[in-house]
């Protein structure tokens, strides 16, 4: 498509997900903010909690891939070229990082560690 406009992506995602899009964006922004505030409050990363969050993140990544496969009536076993591996990595990565951050903040705000 000539004159491809990145803004179209947002319009398309809005059509695809409806109100869910805003919920996801809210979750992402909210999760990140909560994470940053936690970092400032605790003046650093709590290693033990990070490990647990990362483990949960692995699950989140897999979940994102399963969701994607379901919605697209196909599976990542259909990958046929570099762009596909990139997409798989992207979906997995987003699921991983997203859920890790959310889980880390959630744990942190629920049971703050005393230093």
Instruction: Tell me the CA distances in angstroms from 29 to 25, 67, 88, 101, one per residue in order.
Output: 6, 21, 23, 11
Contact between 80 and other proteins by CB under 8 A: the answer reads yes
List the one residue out of 82, 101, 97 whose CA is nearest residue 32: 101
What is the per-residue binding string for other proteins in 32-71, x denoting contact by CB under 8 A?
------------------------------------x--x
Size of site (CB under 8 A) for other proteins = 30
Sites of contact with other proteins (CB under 8 A): 1-5, 7-8, 10-16, 68, 71-81, 83-84, 86-87
């Amino acid at each position: 498509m000539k004159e491809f406009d990145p803004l179209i992506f947002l319009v398309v995602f809005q059509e695809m997900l409806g109100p869910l899009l805003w919920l996801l964006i809210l979750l992402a922004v909210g999760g990140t903010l909560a994470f940053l505030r936690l970092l400032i409050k605790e003046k650093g990363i709590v290693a033990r909690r990070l490990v647990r969050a990362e483990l949960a993140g692995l699950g989140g990544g897999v979940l994102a891939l399963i969701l994607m496969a379901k919605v697209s009536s196909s599976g990542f076993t259909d990958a046929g070229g570099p762009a596909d591996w990139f997409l798989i990595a992207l979906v997995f990565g987003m699921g991983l990082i997203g859920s890790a951050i959310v889980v880390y903040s959630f744990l942190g705000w629920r049971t703050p560690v005393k230093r």
